[in-house]
Homo-oligomer: A and B are copies of this chain.
Amino acid sequence: MEIRRFFVNPQDVCANGEIVVFGDEFLHMTKVLRYKTGYKAIVCANDGIERYCTIKQIDRDRAILSVDDEKVQDKKRVHVTLFAGLLKNNKLDFAIQKAVELGIDEVCPFLSSNTAETKFAKDRADKIALEAAKQCGSAYLTKVCELCDFQDVVKSFGDFDKVLFAYEDEKKNRIKDCDLSGKKIALIVGAEGGFTPEEARIAKEAGAQIVTLGRRILRAETASIVASALLLDTLGELDYE
C-alpha cells in the first residue's frame, strides 16, 4: 500500500519524537482514509524532511504518531514568493496547483488596476495547495496568503532580497539575466489585464527588476507557471542536489 502523506505545523513535531496530527489532516486520516493505530504515514512539517511514522494513538480530535525514520527529501536554498494577480474563473486554482508542484514557497494573490476578478476564497485555495502538495509528493506546503492590493505588494518589497516583475512591455531583460543573489526572491505576475505603465514604474522605482517572459502573449495562468519554472530553473531549485 502506498504510504500517504500528511502535513502538520512545525510545532506539532514534538521533542520526544512524536507528532500530533490535528484538524483537517486528522479528519482526512481517520474519517476519509479510516486509518487505525499501527498504520504507517509520512508526515511533513514544511522543513523538507519526510518523517516516516506509525500511528500510536487516535483520540477524538487528534492522532499521535511516532517517528520511525526521517529522510531529507528536498532541501531548498532560496525561498520564492509568487505574487499572482487574481484571475477569473478560478484560474488561480490552477496556477496555485502548478506553483506547488514546481516548489514555489508562497503564493500571494493581489488586486491591481486591471484585475477583473475581485473574489478570492482563501479556504478553497488552501485546500488546493494542500491537495497538490500531497499529490505531487512534496515535503513542503506552499503557503497561500490573503488577497492584498498592489500597493501592499510594493510595500512588501523590503522583505525580499530581489524582486522580479513580469511586464509585457519589457522587451529584453529575461529572468536568467537578473541578479538573483540572496535567499528570498519575489516574482510578480499580473492578471488577465496585465499591469499599467504606472504600476510598472512604481514597481521599478521600488527596486523590482522588470522582466520579459518572451515575445508571445501568454494567458495569465500560463505566465505564472512559465515565470515560476524559468525562475526556479535559473536558481537551480529544480535540480537534484
Give residues in A with beta carbon < 8 Å to B. Answer: 74, 98, 101-103, 135-138, 171-172, 174, 176, 212-219, 222, 225-226, 229-230, 232-233, 237-241
A136 touches B217 (CB 8 A): yes
In the complex where A225-B225, A240-B171 touch, is A217 in contact with B101 (Cβ < 8 A)?
Answer: yes
How many Å from the CB of A55 to the closest CB on chain B?
A: 25
B230 touches A214 (CB 8 A): no
The prevalent SS among residues of A at the interface is: loop
In the bound complex, how far is the Cα of B198 from the Cα of A166, in angstroms? 41
Q: List chain B residues, Cβ under 8 A from A172.
A: 240
B74 touches A218 (CB 8 A): no
A136 touches B233 (CB 8 A): no
- Most B CB within 10 A of own CB, among A217, A222, A237: A222
B229 touches A212 (CB 8 A): no
How many Å from the CB of A222 to the closest CB on chain B?
A: 5
A-B contact pairs, 27 of them (CB 8 A): A98-B222, A98-B225, A101-B216, A101-B218, A101-B222, A102-B214, A102-B222, A103-B216, A135-B219, A136-B217, A136-B218, A137-B216, A174-B233, A174-B238, A174-B239, A176-B233, A214-B233, A214-B237, A214-B238, A214-B239, A214-B240, A215-B238, A215-B239, A215-B240, A225-B225, A229-B229, A230-B230
- A103-B214, A212-B239, A213-B238 provided; 7 other pairs, C-beta below 8 A? A98-B222, A101-B216, A102-B216, A136-B216, A137-B216, A171-B240, A225-B226
In the bound complex, how far is the Cα of B216 from the Cα of A98, in angstroms? 11
